[in-house]
Amino acid sequence: MSQGVNGEFTFENVPDGEYVVAIAGQTMTTKQRHDIVPLSKIFDGAEFQTNDVSQKIVIQNGVVSVPGLVDVNNEPETEIIFGVVHHAYSVTLTSKYGKFIFGTQNGNQDFGTEVDVNGTPLQVFTAYQGGLRTFEQNNNIFASNAGVLDGDRINNITDKLPEPTLSDEEKAMGITFVGWLAEPAYATPSSYDNSDLRTMAERYPTLAGSLLSPSDAISFVALDDITLRAVFNIPHHSVTFATNSDKGQINDKDNNKASYVEKQFEGNNKKIAELPTVQAKPGYKFLGWYADLTENVIPETELKEMVVNQNLKFYAKYEKADPEVSNIPVINPISEGDTKVTGIGINGSKIKVTFPDGTSKETTVNNNEWSIDFTRPFKYGEQINANQTEVQEGVEKLVSPIVSQTVVNPKKSENPIVLAVKEEAAAVTGKGIAGSTIIVTFKDGSKVATTVAENGTWSVEVPKTAALKKGDNVSVVQIEKDKLPSSAVDATAVLDEKADALKPKTSFVEEGTNAELSPTVEGLVSKKDIPNYKYVTTEVVDGNLVHVYKKVDEKPDKPEQPETTTTSTHTTTKVPSIPTVSTPVRPSVSTSKSMHNTQSTATKETSAVATLPKTGTQDGTLFVVIGLLLTVVGIVVYKKNNA
């Protein structure tokens, strides 16, 4: 048997053989971890003990020898052949904020970064590497414990752990250092076992998740490697926007309507930046936000730039406003025997239709059109009423006035006239029956309605979504009072210069000689009185109007009769003279732009004077001739028959 104390061994009753001296992982007395001092690196010639297992020791015939190194005899002998010291544990510090700064050349050394289990970037500083380290200085080799010895405390080697240095921005946020957390998630490999990835929760169960003050962090007993995380106090503030729900609503982050919304801000240096959207209810107008009893509205730009360093609350301010009334809808003509009511309205609006029996139904306008079925066929003379409620940004406007439509016999309206459509034109224009409804459909499907003026003209603005390009078609339908819609008349947009070149002209000539009696004018112009001449007829020559006159004696024997023959080198058509009549009185109906449609709710009795067939204006000749010019006045016109 052999035993040793402080490196001195005695051997008693040991059989002959070869032996080695091995150092156990823990000393038998304290169970503390230890490291073997590599004496071969420190003392020249002391190569006997280089690890925790010695070279061979030979016992032969009771004599102990270490071949080639030590002579062993029965006399006591002292020789340093190995050293044993307590194991040193590592100390690692991490922080989400700030940096570990020391007296380096640039004052800011990068010690590296890691991430915790949540993916949060962390500054990592290894204050002590742990284990046994050797170094050379002045041609001497030294060994040192690079950490906290097993069973010791951090305050045995330092009186304070280095705290992270915050940036100016982090200081402005109001961040303050609080202490250290026994890091439960971040794992640092053990200095004595590279496969050891245990966390602090496993190494120090009693400290796991505990917040340690700076003094407590250096006072606990080291039993394993140590990882501590810097803990900071970060101020949090809320900003609340509230409203009187009777006057308006606020859109929350999910675009839901609410009476208040609350935003959270981290730190003391964040700006409000964004304001919630307020939707005032009908009869109210949103003015802005105020914060105190004065109810003075804070300018929006000033409010967005406001720095949040405390809890804030703002209130919506309103004023009463005249309620906005919805536009009236358009009811398409209804013929006897129909079972459906159709019309035009503002997209997304609600349409309420009241039937002759007093019942009502509602529907929603889709693609600017609406339709509601009735339970039986309509009878001639019955009246159908409708109103419209527009919805703007989720808020309903006041309901529109009621508009009516009377069931008529199924007679078809006259086709409208569409004048030349130019590329990039702002409006589409034409002529029709005074008081009739004109509906124009553009290439994107949008529909715009208007009413023909008393002078027989109409015009609708081109929607921004349907800007006219060369080759684009527009489709126009006319609906006369108590009649079915006309066939659709299509017109194709042409280049501006081409449209100008195709404009018709009107001339005034003498019969037989074709001598010009009055200057030629642009456009289609009615006949006029010319002294000493009598109007005979109107001809269409190459798409132009030619009013023909005959010279008369001062005392003609008998009245001239209109002629029905033609004399021209071009293909012509004569139109009989029609006496002028007084312009009939028509109810005035406002013209609508875009989809803001209007429709007369009542008719006005006309004077008992003659009216021209199918025109309602005094210029009957012009309308008859225009009907003959549809293929030659500079537009491409097609007719669609109603289904």
Domain with residue 440: its CATH number is 2.60.40.10
Sequence-ordered list of residues with C-beta below 8 angstroms from that of 104, at least 6 positions apart, any chain: none
Return the higher-pLDDT residue of 563 and 51: 51
| Surface-to-core class of residue 258, CB atoms within 10 Å of its CB (0-12 exposed, 13-18 middle, 19+ buried) | middle
User: What is the model's pTM?
Assistant: 0.43
Q: Is 456 left (phi over 0), alpha (psi -120 to 50) or beta?
A: left
The pLDDT of residue 362: 96
Looking at the structure, do residues 196 and 106 belong to the same domain, yes or no? yes
- Please name which of 229, 196, 205 lies closest in space to residue 89, comparing C-alpha atoms: 196
CA distance 226 to 91: 5
Q: Which of 383, 406, 429 is at the close of a domain?
A: 406
Estimate the share of the chain in helix, then strand, then coil, as percent rounded to the nearest 5: 5, 40, 55
Q: How confident is the model at residue 15 (pLDDT cuts 50, 70, 90)?
A: confident
Q: Which of 70, 86, 102 is at the close of a domain?
A: 86
What total number of domains does the chain contain?
5
The pLDDT of residue 55: 65
Q: How far from 469 is each of 422, 493, 532, CA to CA, in Å? A: 8, 7, 49
Looking at the structure, do residues 102 and 161 belong to the same domain, yes or no? yes
The answer to whether residue 636 is domain-embedded is: no
Question: Which residues are registered as beta bridge partners of 215?
Answer: none
Looking at the structure, do residues 103 and 222 belong to the same domain, yes or no? yes
Start-to-end CA span in the chain (Å): 121
CA distance 433 to 430: 11
Mean pLDDT for the chain? Answer: 75
CA distance 630 to 614: 17
Q: How far from 25 is each of 22, 29, 148, 464, 637, CA to CA, in Å? A: 9, 12, 18, 87, 105
Report whether pLDDT(165) > 60.
Answer: yes
- Please name which of 164, 179, 162 lies closest in space to residue 214, comparing C-alpha atoms: 179
Q: What is the number of other CB atoms lying within 10 angstroms of the CB of residue 344?
A: 23
CA distance 228 to 90: 11
The answer to whether residue 396 is domain-embedded is: yes
The pLDDT of residue 214: 93
- Please name which of 198, 165, 201, 158 lies closest in space to residue 181, comparing C-alpha atoms: 201
The pLDDT of residue 544: 79
The answer to whether residue 580 is domain-embedded is: no
The answer to whether residue 7 is domain-embedded is: yes
Q: How confident is the model at residue 548 (pLDDT cuts 50, 70, 90)?
A: very high
Return the higher-pLDDT residue of 584 and 62: 62
Report whether pLDDT(86) > 80.
Answer: no
> For residues 171 and 165, is the Cβ–Cβ distance under 8 A?
no
Looking at the structure, do residues 342 and 438 belong to the same domain, yes or no? no
- Report, as an integer, the average pLDDT of 536-551: 84
Instruction: Rounding to the nearest 10 degrees, give the CA dihedral for residues 268, 274, 277, 283.
Output: 80
- Report, as an integer, the average pLDDT of 271-300: 91
Report whether pLDDT(570) > 60.
Answer: no
User: For the segment 589-634, what is each residue's pLDDT rounded down to a tens digit?
Assistant: 333 333 333 333 333 333 333 333 333 333 444 443 444 343 333 3
Report whether pLDDT(26) > 80.
Answer: no
Tokens (6 digits) for 256: 């839901």
Looking at the structure, do residues 109 and 204 belong to the same domain, yes or no? yes
- Report, as an integer, the average pLDDT of 217-222: 92
The answer to whether residue 168 is domain-embedded is: yes
- Positive or negative: CA dihedral 178, 179, 184, 190: positive
Looking at the structure, do residues 128 and 140 belong to the same domain, yes or no? yes
Q: Which of 446, 472, 496 is at the close of a domain?
A: 496
Looking at the structure, do residues 28 and 63 belong to the same domain, yes or no? yes
The answer to whether residue 372 is domain-embedded is: yes
The answer to whether residue 581 is domain-embedded is: no
Looking at the structure, do residues 124 and 173 belong to the same domain, yes or no? yes
Q: How confident is the model at residue 111 (pLDDT cuts 50, 70, 90)?
A: low
The pLDDT of residue 117: 55
The pLDDT of residue 555: 56
β-sheet with 340-344: strand ranges across: 330-331, 340-344, 369-373
DSSP label at residue 423 = T
Amino acid letter for position 485? P
Report whether pLDDT(215) > 50.
Answer: yes
CA distance 387 to 401: 6
β-sheet with 211-212: strand ranges across: 113-115, 121-128, 91-95, 226-233, 176-182, 211-212
Report whether pLDDT(440) > 90.
Answer: yes
The pLDDT of residue 497: 61
User: For the segment 414-423, what is each residue's pLDDT rounded down to a tens digit?
Assistant: 999 999 898 8
Looking at the structure, do residues 222 and 241 belong to the same domain, yes or no? no
The answer to whether residue 513 is domain-embedded is: no
The pLDDT of residue 501: 57
Which 3 state secondary structure label does DSSP give 517? strand
Looking at the structure, do residues 184 and 100 belong to the same domain, yes or no? yes
Looking at the structure, do residues 97 and 219 belong to the same domain, yes or no? yes
CA distance 512 to 533: 13
CA distance 618 to 603: 20
Domain containing 282 — which CATH number?
Answer: 2.60.40.4270
Which 3 state secondary structure label does DSSP give 285? strand
CA distance 159 to 622: 109
Looking at the structure, do residues 92 and 223 belong to the same domain, yes or no? yes
Report whether pLDDT(254) > 60.
Answer: yes
Q: Give the chain's largest Cα–Cα span.
A: 178
Return the higher-pLDDT residue of 50 and 315: 315
Return the higher-pLDDT residue of 511 and 194: 511
**Domain span holding position 308:** 236-320
